[in-house]
Amino acid sequence: MCLIVFAWRPNHQLPLVLAANRDEFYARPSLPLAAWEDAPELYGGRDLEAGGTWLGVGPGGRFAALTNIRDPRQPPHGRSRGELPVQFLRSALEPAAFLAELATRSSDYSAFNLLLGNTQQLWLLNSRHGTPQQLPEGLYGLSNAALDTPWPKLQKGKALLGECLIEPQTEALLDLLHDAQQPADASLPDTGVGLNTERLLSSIFIATRSYGTLASTVLLARADGSRQLVERRYGPHGVPLGDTRIEC
């Protein structure tokens, strides 16, 4: 994922309201949101190049999502970060125990944020910081840096999500994720990729010929452990390719 905005309200009838965009090269093969044939209690999209996922849910109210940390200076690592959400969703470990173990081997992967939890807890591991963090109730955003790093698209996404929280509707959340307005150059971060690329990556929704938002996902998690998942997929230049809606 390249942008996740979410509200964590553990004592609410909707403990987790989340909207996320996966940005990637359109040519990278993947499967849409579905139950996995080899793990039928796991629901998510699937990267066919490395076999992992960017966002998924599993039994017992388990949830996991991943963002990469943007740093063109970091050397490539052999293991795919997309396997990390799958490891948690297939694990029997509690979130804190899983992340404590992962923290000991996080250097096997390029830098990442792993957000995960269940109906009672929500946790984050930023591999650069190295210490798992339990999140209190609040409105949050993750992009390709640390939690709540004030990049323009993250701040805008959080503000738009806040406007949807009185009565969250999947279409309004998908509309939030389709905002393609680019901020002014003066407000852009400098992550070492050059101004033209910073501009390209600066909007919530990205649409070019070869790279852009492949999938927008909305997750509404209920207090009883049931979830509603909606995925809207896109092709080159942002052409819509279809929706998937799942109750699980």
| Residue-wise pLDDT tens digits, 38-60 | 988 999 999 999 999 999 999 99
Consecutive H or E run containing 196: helix 195-201
**Residue 8 is part of a domain; what is its CATH number?**
3.60.60.10
Share of the chain above pLDDT 90, in %: 90
CB 85 within 8 A of CB 56: yes
Sheet holding 138-142, edge to edge: 138-142, 3-8, 16-25, 211-221, 227-234, 240-247
Residue of 72 and 55 predicted with greater confidence: 55
> Which two structure tokens, joined as six digits, stand for 41?
């209690």
Task: Say yes or no to pLDDT of 102 above 90.
Answer: yes
Looking at residue 99, its pLDDT comes to 97
Average pLDDT of the residues in 193-210 = 94
Q: What is the chain's alpha carbon radius of gyration, rounded to the nearest angstrom?
A: 17
pLDDT of residue 132: 97
Distance CA 154, CA 4 (A): 8
Count of structural domains within the chain = 1
What pLDDT, on the 0 to 100 scale, is given for residue 76?
A: 72
The answer, yes or no, to whether residue 184 has pLDDT greater than 90, is: yes
Computed over every residue of the chain, the mean pLDDT equals 95
**Short-list 124, 134, 118, 15, CA closest to 59:** 118
Q: Could you give the 3-state DSSP secondary structure of residue 96?
A: helix
What local confidence, expressed as pLDDT, does residue 71 receive?
84
177 pLDDT band, cuts 50/70/90, is very high
CA distance 133 to 113: 11
pLDDT at 140: 98
- Per DSSP (E only), the strands in 185-239 are 211-221, 227-234
pLDDT score, position 73:
81
pLDDT over 90 (residue 78):
no
Q: Note the pLDDT of residue 72.
A: 80
For the stretch 4-44, pLDDT in tens is: 999 999 999 999 999 999 999 999 999 999 999 998 899 99
Contacts of 82 (CB under 8 A, 6+ apart): 47, 50, 51, 52, 53, 54, 66
Enclosing domain of residue 96: 3-247
Which residues make Cβ contacts (< 8 Å) with residue 227, sequence separation at least 6?
Answer: 43, 57, 61, 63, 219, 220, 221, 247, 248
* Portion of the chain with pLDDT greater than 70, in percent: 100
Model confidence band, residue 128 (pLDDT cutoffs 50, 70, 90): very high
Mean of pLDDT values over 70-76? 80
